[in-house]
Structure 1
Amino acid sequence: MHVITLGVPQGVGEEFERGLHEEGARHAVECRVQHARSLEELPELLPPGLLVLWDAGGPVQDTLTLCQRLHARREPSRSQLVVLTARGPDELHTLEQAGADECQAPPGGRWGARLIALERRLRSLEPSALVARGGGNRMRTEATLQALLEFTLAEPGPDFFQVMVRQLSQALGVTCALVGELDGSAVRKLACFNLGDFCELPPYTLAGTPCEITVDQAICHYPDGVAARFPEDTMLHEQGLRSYLGAALRDSRGQPIGVLAILNDKPLEARQLDYALINAFAVRAGFELERRRQRDEMERSRDLLQKTLDSVPEPLLVKDRGYRWIAMNSAFCRLMGRPLEELLGRTDRDFYSKAEADALRRQDEQVFTTGQPHEAEDSLTDASGQGRVLLTRKTLFTGGGRSLLMMLCRDVTERKRLESQLRMADRMVSAGTLATGVAHEINNPLTFVSANLTWLEEQLTEMIVVPEALPEMREVLSETREGVGRIRELVQDLKSFARADDERTGPVDVHRVVDGALRLMRSAMRHRTQVVRAFGEVPPVRGNESRLGQVLVNLLVNALQALPARTADDNRIQVSTWREGPHHVVLEVEDNGQGMPLEIQRRIFEPFFTTKPVGVGTGLGLSICNTIVQSMGGRIEVRSQPGQGTAFKLRLPVDGVAAPLRGKEAVLPL
């Protein structure tokens, strides 16, 4: 016989153990005595036998709590709980309500009779599983194990808990089986099978219910009289329930998260194996509840992430290492013209041409490999055949051992169209500004070409050409050819300056562009300033010839307008070129005009900012120049001081260099 004493003083315990062995020997009952100072020294499920609790005489609530906890961890049908106490009748009754089978004045007596009665009771108990007395229903252990096996192997579908409580109720032949989730100080029902059917239960508080003991003690059993022990639990009274067996559901950290319980309207006995079975069901249910909590948390996190992404006004896309689209915001879906469900899991190759998709993949791989952000302006044709220009920035971020690429993009198709129109309008404005000078440049050679042709016509009408006139005629023809060439060259420069096919890029001869711009400006500058060329040996740059010519004409016009009213010998405009390192060519336009204060230098590249009178300037010239230079991968800088002139420096990438220089305009000290 296993005997456990809890809190018994050492002297009393030694006398108790000696007398117990003597009584046991007299009645042929072998006793194994275990002394414990606290509940923590005892197993979670107490073995069958005699339990002796010592009442130290302090507050009765302390002894009541120990009594309740001992009762919750034992098998009442296979154990006897005796409290050694000197309290009065009212408090003794309270202890019996808390689970004590007997209350004896210390040191107690008649231990032999208790040992005989307990031994007889243990031998009389059948090795059955859960037994409902009075109803004649017996559930064999094999059937319970079979139900557990089927439940364990079942797929965790949406009706997982409903299946579990129904199997428990039917297999064990009890009135009710339920499973609930802890929600603060209450239990929220997950499933309840009562009187052969599923039913709804409102959330109920733990306080004053057997579920509270279950959560605290991991497993709890009241074979009979459970309603009387918990008078505040209205469900027990309303349904006439008499017995209760429950187990706590715990998460992977061992924290209680729910309760599994079976209740009956008849007394309910249980053995050690029954506790193990109900606990196995509880463990399986705990795993499923924790999985659902994690799934719900992931769904909440995913919803929060989606709402966060949707709050970004620009189209945003996230790719995994396999280049698949795994997350995006609503702005990106609108850009693609498709719902989220049709875009998740897809790749660039599902929507763009092979060449475009391959180019995008090379960009992605560069970011994945180097970890460095990448910016680009890509012209793409989507699956509907519509052409788009996207300005994108791709960034790598890692988390949880996973590398992801986030792409923030902007559809600049309409902006590019408007920019093209603005550039063309600016060219026309510049062409209008130069119209008088260009007409004069054409009129000069045209005048002497016309005079020469008239003279030749007069000579040829006489039908006789004397040999002495031939040298003069040859000279006239040569002058005429030169004049026509000058006209053709000027028209070609004007055509190159004003043409609209400015989207093509390639190698550009900087010196040819400078010569063409100076020819267009020759008439306007001839009587106003000296023009100095300071050309170095430079390779072709990557860009567009007409765009670069537009920039240069704008800078020359600005330089000319900045010159004060003085003789041409005192004014100077110098155009210089040189190579700066292996990757860049510098083109500089410098004047010795009025210069600019620092506050104006800081704003000259802003759209619509101008220092000219109303109706004279639009304020777009330098802004467009800056945009053009940046689109070619270059940078424009200015340095100036009042009264000392201004210099605009264009730093342009050499054709064939992979990495263009990115940046904004800079204001440098003179």
Structure 2
Amino acid sequence: MLATLVAVPAAVAVEVERGVRASGAGQSCHVLCVTGADVIAAPVEEGLLITWDAGGALEDVLEGVRRLHALRVASRTQLVVLTSRDDAQAQALAEAGADECVASPGQGWGTRLAALRRRLEAETGEHDLRALRRTSAFLRSALDAVPEPLFVKDRQHRWVAMNSAFCRVMGHPAEALLGRSDHEFVPAHEADSFWRNDEQVFRSGVPDESEETLTDRATGISRVLVTKKATFSGSGETFLVGIIRDVTDRKRLESQLLLAERMASVGTLAAGVAHEINNPLAYVSSNLAYVRDLLALPALSEEQLPELREVVAEALDGAARVCAIVRDLRTFARGDEERHGPVDVTRAVEGALRLVRNELTHRARVVCTMEPVPPVHGNEVRLGQVVLNLLVNALQALPPRPAEENRVRVSLRTGRAGQVELEVTDNGTGMTPEVQRRIFDPFFTTRPVGEGTGLGLSICHTLVLAMGGRIEVSSALDWGTTFRVVLPALSVGTVASPESPVLGSTVALVERRRLLLIDDEPSVGNSVTRLVRDVYEVHSVQDAREALRRLSTGERFDAILCDLMMPGMSGMDFVEELERLAPELVRRTGLMTGGAFTAQAREFVGRHSRGLLEKPFERERLCDFVEHLLP
């Protein structure tokens, strides 16, 4: 604390300093004597400012007080005038800026200093509080100005700060989130995943960017988020800051684009696919007509039986060929390309070859060399799309010349370090180095307007990279092109693809169980009844409402098999009504489909069904599926 004495006579100054020193509050006070206000170089920021009234004209004293008042911080100082003037003149001094008018040499300096110190401490605290509030408000405004959701967590993974965008993502105000963790607001498996990712960043101190899924507990709607995370230190603690980008719509558009490109590839092969289906259908129909005519005879001779067996075997083989081509088409049309797991590369390549076989065989000589290869991690739909795009690209590169002069070679082998290598080579027109540099750019195409989107090879490149592999191209004009896909193989011991549930072995011949079959196609019910009537007592109905009526009257069944998509009441509607009528039967109900799906149906199957049986099916697969449903 500073006590500044301005123009105070020496004798009086000695008395004032003695009075200041006599108090406990004044022992640490520094006393400074100056001759006048003009020698005070800077504003007096705190302490006592004491001046002397030598009498004389009041106006001269008032001017001196005004000057001193202008040189001080009024809220942090005390201006004391040592004067013997009456009350009226003392009031004039107070109006000029004096805080006190006391008789010389004054007294109670310790009390005055203690009161000033308390005022200074209170003002400092209030000033700090105001500054803290201003800083807090500034930080809040800055965070809320960030359009992306942002949060800060402490070392215990609790939220300590966030912006309004993050509150909107979580669906809760900041007051409900602060001091709490993910486990109180999101599904347990997602909260555990968030915790592991956060903990890795906390421990390593290395920033991370990862894709995460956030599900709203109330609606069940999931969103795909990309979160960037990093750590920082403050007040001796470590914190984690995260910024979120919602990529749900982008992922949905990407899926739609991938599906559209797949269907465009299949669309260019529509005539060939129809040929692949119509050829076996032709002899299936002819053979079945022959069987019908043969069975119309009163009796069959011993010579006719071998031929009858041969005709039936050909019909079954043709039906299997149609099933294979339909299965390949359905695989390419599926929208479940987000599912990842072990993929049989050979099956993906063979499926793509079946779709394009007719076009290939009429345009070129096809040479396939496919060695046994280990599975890779990825998605069968996406890998099939890559292969199909490369085959279509090879077809488009072939010039209009006799088929025997064109060549397409497909090679599948195990490469170095256990990698799986796929090559598609053509002897077509080839590419210039300039075209090769741009071949994977989106929307780049050398095809005429209207004949290509320029997305096929770009999508191939993206899908292969997503599977941890790479795609290479080598080409020369008038010589041909080779596309080479290299994918990392799964380690030995990896289980088979989980896409189909592991069901029980073929049912043994035991006492028949009652099976309720619901399908709007009477022929399906008739064929299933004939197929398994030695194993199950099949009761077939064509309307799900009829099935519910029979169940409501007390009729009991060991298992229920229901078509997913039916007019009137669908399989989804049936299962939901069954949950109300006989919930114990829901676990014994399986759905079957011929491949027709809506987004609602796909989501429903994942939540409610014990499994999905795809048509057409043979006896063994049907029996295995039903056994999976039995109690």
State the TM-score, normalized to the length of structure 2.
0.61
Are residue 483 (structure 1) and residue 318 (structure 2) matched? Answer: yes
CA distances 1:34-87 after superposition (whole Å, capped 9, x unpaired): xxxxxxxxx9889xxxxxxxxxxxxxxxxxxxxx7896999625289xxxxxxx
- How far 1:529 moved relative to its partner? 3.0
The residue that corresponds to 2:394 in the other structure is: 559
- How far 1:603 moved relative to its partner? 4.3
Q: Is the 8 A contact 2:214 2:225 kept in 1?
A: no
For 1:32-111, what aligned pairs fall within 5 Å after superposition? Answer: 76=13, 78=15
4+ residue runs of structure 1 moved beyond 6 angstroms? 43-46, 72-75, 127-130, 209-214, 235-238, 655-658
Are residue 436 (structure 1) and residue 271 (structure 2) matched? Answer: yes
Are residue 613 (structure 1) and residue 613 (structure 2) matched? Answer: no
State the percentage of identical aligned residues: 42
Distance in 1, matches of 2:484 and 2:140, equals 47
Could you list the runs of 5+ residues in structure 2 that have no partner in the other structure? 27-35, 71-77, 83-96, 495-631
Distance in 2, matches of 1:326 and 1:478, equals 72
1:489 partner amino acid: A
The residue that corresponds to 1:222 in the other structure is: 51
Are residue 641 (structure 1) and residue 475 (structure 2) matched? Answer: yes
Q: Helix, strand or coil for the counterpart of 1:269?
A: coil
- How far 1:244 moved relative to its partner? 4.2
Distance in 2, matches of 1:641 and 1:483, equals 40
CA distances 1:142-190 after superposition (whole Å, capped 9, x unpaired): xx98xx9xxxxxxxxxxxxxxxxxxxxxxxxxxxxxxxxxxxxxxxxxx
2:102 partner amino acid: K
Q: Is the 8 A contact 1:596 1:646 kept in 2?
A: no
1:568–1:461: structure 2 CA closer, same or farther, 3 Å change rule? same
1:333–1:642: structure 2 CA closer, same or farther, 3 Å change rule? farther
- How far 1:510 moved relative to its partner? 1.5
For 1:440-589, what aligned pairs fall within 5 Å after superposition? Answer: 440-463=275-298, 465-566=300-401, 567-568=403-404, 570-578=406-414, 581=417, 585-589=420-424
- How far 1:235 moved relative to its partner? 8.3
Q: Helix, strand or coil for the counterpart of 1:390?
A: strand
- How far 1:378 moved relative to its partner? 2.1
1:243–1:310: structure 2 CA closer, same or farther, 3 Å change rule? closer
Are residue 394 (structure 1) and residue 331 (structure 2) matched? Answer: no
The residue that corresponds to 2:211 in the other structure is: 377
Distance in 2, matches of 1:586 and 1:345, equals 52
- How far 1:646 moved relative to its partner? 3.6
Distance in 2, matches of 1:336 and 1:569, equals 63
CA distances 1:431-485 after superposition (whole Å, capped 9, x unpaired): 3222211111122222233333444455555546554555444433333332222
1:282–1:600: structure 2 CA closer, same or farther, 3 Å change rule? farther
Q: Is the 8 A contact 1:210 1:230 kept in 2?
A: no
Are residue 407 (structure 1) and residue 221 (structure 2) matched? Answer: no
State the TM-score, normalized to the length of structure 1.
0.58
- How far 1:368 moved relative to its partner? 1.0
2:330 partner amino acid: K
Could you list the runs of 5+ residues in structure 1 that have no partner in the other structure? 1-42, 47-67, 81-121, 131-140, 149-206, 246-260, 659-670
Larger Rg: 1
Distance in 1, matches of 2:324 and 2:421, equals 26
1:243 partner amino acid: V
Distance in 2, matches of 1:466 and 1:421, equals 59
What number of residue pairs does the alignment pair up?
Answer: 457
Are residue 347 (structure 1) and residue 145 (structure 2) matched? Answer: no
1:576 partner amino acid: L
Distance in 1, matches of 2:460 and 2:250, equals 16
Q: Helix, strand or coil for the counterpart of 2:264?
A: helix
- How far 1:573 moved relative to its partner? 3.0
The residue that corresponds to 2:63 in the other structure is: 231
1:539–1:211: structure 2 CA closer, same or farther, 3 Å change rule? farther
Q: Is the 8 A contact 2:209 2:229 kept in 1?
A: no
1:266–1:552: structure 2 CA closer, same or farther, 3 Å change rule? same
Q: Helix, strand or coil for the counterpart of 1:265?
A: strand
Are residue 356 (structure 1) and residue 190 (structure 2) matched? Answer: yes
The residue that corresponds to 2:583 in the other structure is: none
2:203 partner amino acid: T
Distance in 2, matches of 1:287 and 1:647, equals 79
Q: Helix, strand or coil for the counterpart of 1:502?
A: coil
For 1:275-354, what aligned pairs fall within 5 Å after superposition? Answer: 278-279=112-113, 285-354=119-188
1:605–1:407: structure 2 CA closer, same or farther, 3 Å change rule? farther
Compute the RMSD of aligned alpha carbons.
Answer: 4.4
Distance in 2, matches of 1:558 and 1:345, equals 57
Q: Helix, strand or coil for the counterpart of 1:515?
A: helix
Distance in 2, matches of 1:454 and 1:439, equals 22
Are residue 264 (structure 1) and residue 86 (structure 2) matched? Answer: no
